Structure 1
Amino acid sequence: MAAELGIEAHVLRHWEQVGALTPRRDGKGYRVYDDEALEQARTVLKLRRAGLSLPEVIAAMAPTKEAAQAVVRAKIAALEDEVASRRAVITFLQHTVECRHRYLDECPGCAAFAREP
């Protein structure tokens, strides 16, 4: 299953150890990666690639939809904040490229950006 997902086997074992993946066990205690486990692992992988931490992944896979949605909404809000912050940086950098002042500290626009939190 690890090869099919393009990850290392130890990653699957780690996901199981922290509770993000719960493959069933056969009579001898060996993990059985059936279709259900594969789908669960794909979901974990997609959520990790979307930027969720393993604790967030576990919470996002909660049995109740409300609990899962709360985690996803919080992640969306954090990503939106990050996007807004990066847009402000892009605006500042574009200004510095077009700025007529030789030094950034001589420019009121650059100084205003520097004072922002």
Structure 2
Amino acid sequence: MRITLLLNVDMKSTVNPGSMSIGEIARRFGLAPHVLRHWESVGLLSPSRAVAGRRRYGADHLYQIAVILRAKEAGFALDDIRQMFVAQGPTQRTATLRRHRAELAKRIAQAQASLELIDCALACDHEDITRCPHFQAMVAERIGLDAPV
């Protein structure tokens, strides 16, 4: 199974991507600035500092933030995301990625099974779907019963 990750970081901006402020980059991703500060404190981001210590974000940060957001959607903990970023090569990332891939595949399969039950229920004309033989058969199949309840 091949999964494609599309990152929309909208590089066409009037803002110089090499010198975005925390407010500019937070708005670009719909985040509160404190989220970016927290990610910095746990080692996910390391913006450069300008005059008076103000954080400045470059184009690379756009991709890091997009990856952080996608990884969080996939169920990664911030520590696991950090481990991926600081890994000393692909081999170190592999164990974390394989574990999360397996967990995500399991959640996707569970969601697909739930979607199929919902679709079956939507197609049912019975007053009480729990008494519908077709729906009972689908539920029995999902929970491993030999025959409908």
| TM-score bracket, shorter-length normalisation | 0.5 to 0.7
Q: Quick check: which one's helix share is greater? A: 1
Change in CA separation of 1:55 and 1:113 when aligned onto 2, cut-off 3 Å: same
Total equivalences in the alignment: 110
Measured after TM superposition, the shift of residue 86 of structure 1 is: 4.3
Gaps of 5+ in 2: 1-24, 122-129
The equivalent of 1:69 in structure 2 is 94
Gaps of 5+ in 1: none
The equivalent of 2:29 in structure 1 is 5
Change in CA separation of 1:50 and 1:90 when aligned onto 2, cut-off 3 Å: closer
Q: Which of structures 1 and 2 has the larger relative contact order (alpha carbons within 8 angstroms, sep 6+)?
A: 2
Alignment-mate amino acid for residue 53 of structure 2:
G
Change in CA separation of 1:97 and 1:15 when aligned onto 2, cut-off 3 Å: farther
User: Contact (CA 8 Å) 2:40, 2:46: kept in 1 or not?
Assistant: yes
Residue aligned with 2:46, SS:
coil
CA distance in 1, matches of 2:36, 2:93: 22
TM-score, normalised relative to structure 1:
0.67
The equivalent of 2:133 in structure 1 is 99
Pair 1:20 & 2:44 matched: yes
CA distance in 2, matches of 1:88, 1:45: 26
Pair 1:113 & 2:137 matched: no
Measured after TM superposition, the shift of residue 91 of structure 1 is: 6.7
User: Contact (CA 8 Å) 1:92, 1:113: kept in 2 or not?
Assistant: no
Pair 1:39 & 2:69 matched: no
